[in-house]
Amino acid sequence: MTTTSTKPMIALETKEMADMLFAATQEVFVSMLGSEIHQLPEAEPERSALFDGVVSVIGLAGPVIGNGIFACSAGAACDLSSRFLIAEFSAVDEQVLDAVGEITNMIVGGFKNLLESITGQLQMSIPTVMYGKNITSRNSQADLAVVVRCAFAGGECELAVRLAAA
Amino acid sequence: MTTTSTKPMIALETKEMADMLFAATQEVFVSMLGSEIHQLPEAEPERSALFDGVVSVIGLAGPVIGNGIFACSAGAACDLSSRFLIAEFSAVDEQVLDAVGEITNMIVGGFKNLLESITGQLQMSIPTVMYGKNITSRNSQADLAVVVRCAFAGGECELAVRLAAA
């Protein structure tokens, strides 16, 4: 048996993946959160700046593996939770973290459905939501990474997807 | 077609899952990090206290879905990275975050191999590693959750696994 170091490539361009991610985000914001969104320029593929706020991560597995990450400020998380749960939230509590987890689940789920036309069937893991200060994050094993920054009525949010050959 | 609200149960006790997680952690610490570990009491199934340090998350998917989480202080992360990469680290940088991601990958991979005897074949996603202050975390969709706290020569670390029916 011989092995080679060449990984199978994912037949997907970064631009196409970013368009899918924006479309999935827009769908959830318009249909579930009652807000239009628009895309902001200058997304960085790897977050380098320190960040205060909420980060939600959900894994993807199948013919490709990876994850989807949703990040926003505490204020934006409260606004999104207020929209989603139709109740007033002014501080990040467990309900807000759960709401952000649910929103992440819907957005990454919509993205997964679009991606499956290219990759074949994928599964999502369960969301892990973290809230903290001075957060840096790293995803070292990705072959393909896109970040989409969006503005909505209550602030900004960032969606990232990283994929690697399984 | 009829549907019921009863989720299929995972045929696994919390104690059995904690034992698997400790065994997988011990294997990596002894074989890759040159340190014995021992288990600490009073693990909380859901982290409630604020936490400063490094948190690494990796998704699981297959007949069950879920994730594995590794958490430790900045000091413990530096000690582990020094052991793993055989180089001196005194501050959390990208190399330390990547090393913690690799260690998480090995521990959760070992746990996955043990769990597969019960669940059938599982896949792992790619690790996301975060470093920050005042971190709280939430996993809302889990049916089964275990946390194992361990002490090693360079500090303490915590392993958590959450599983849900796919």
Q: What is the pLDDT, as a whole number, of residue B44?
A: 56
- Kindly determine whether residue A140 and residue B134, on different chains, have CB atoms separated by under 8 Å: no
- Measured between beta carbons, the chain B residues lying within 8 angstroms of A65 are 123-126
**ipTM entry:** 0.87
Q: How far apart are CA B91 and CA B105, in angstroms?
A: 22
**8 A C-beta contact, residue B23 and residue B114:** yes
- Kindly determine whether residue A130 and residue B140, on different chains, have CB atoms separated by under 8 Å: no
- The tens digit of pLDDT for each residue in A16-74 reads 999 999 999 999 999 999 999 999 986 555 555 678 999 999 999 999 999 999 999 99
- Kindly determine whether residue B67 and residue A140, on different chains, have CB atoms separated by under 8 Å: no
CATH architecture of B14-33+48-165: 3-Layer(aba) Sandwich (3.40)
- Kindly determine whether residue B132 and residue A128, on different chains, have CB atoms separated by under 8 Å: no
* Residue A38, min C-alpha distance to chain B (Å): 27
| Ramachandran bin of A24, using left for φ above 0, alpha for ψ from -120 to 50, beta for the remaining angles | alpha
- Kindly determine whether residue A123 and residue B65, on different chains, have CB atoms separated by under 8 Å: yes
Q: What is the pLDDT, as a whole number, of residue B43?
A: 56
Q: How far apart are CA A89 and CA B139, in angstroms?
A: 20
- Kindly determine whether residue B138 and residue A97, on different chains, have CB atoms separated by under 8 Å: yes
Handedness of CA B8, B13, B14, B17 (dihedral sign): negative
As a whole number, mean pLDDT of residues A110-116 equals 97
**Is the confidence at residue B138, as pLDDT, over 90?**
no
Structural domain spans, chain B: 14-33+48-165
- Measured between beta carbons, the chain B residues lying within 8 angstroms of A96 are none
* CATH of the structural domain A14-165, one choice from 3.40.1550.10, 1.20.120.140, 3.40.630.10, 3.30.70.3340: 3.40.1550.10
- The model's confidence at residue B1, banded by pLDDT at 50, 70 and 90, is very low
- Measured between beta carbons, the chain B residues lying within 8 angstroms of A140 are 97-98, 101-102, 126-127, 129
Q: What is the pLDDT, as a whole number, of residue B5?
A: 39
Q: How far apart are CA B107 and CA B158, in angstroms?
A: 12
Q: Which helix (H) or strand (E) holds B90?
A: none
Q: What is the pLDDT, as a whole number, of residue B51?
A: 82
Name the residue of chain B whose CA is nearest to A92's CA.
B136
Q: What is the pLDDT, as a whole number, of residue A6?
A: 42
- Kindly determine whether residue B133 and residue A136, on different chains, have CB atoms separated by under 8 Å: no
- Measured between beta carbons, the chain A residues lying within 8 angstroms of B67 are 59, 125-126, 128
Q: List beta partners, residue B59.
A: B67
Question: Model's pTM, two decimal places?
Answer: 0.90
- The model's confidence at residue B42, banded by pLDDT at 50, 70 and 90, is low
Task: Give the tokens for residue B31.
Answer: 């074989």
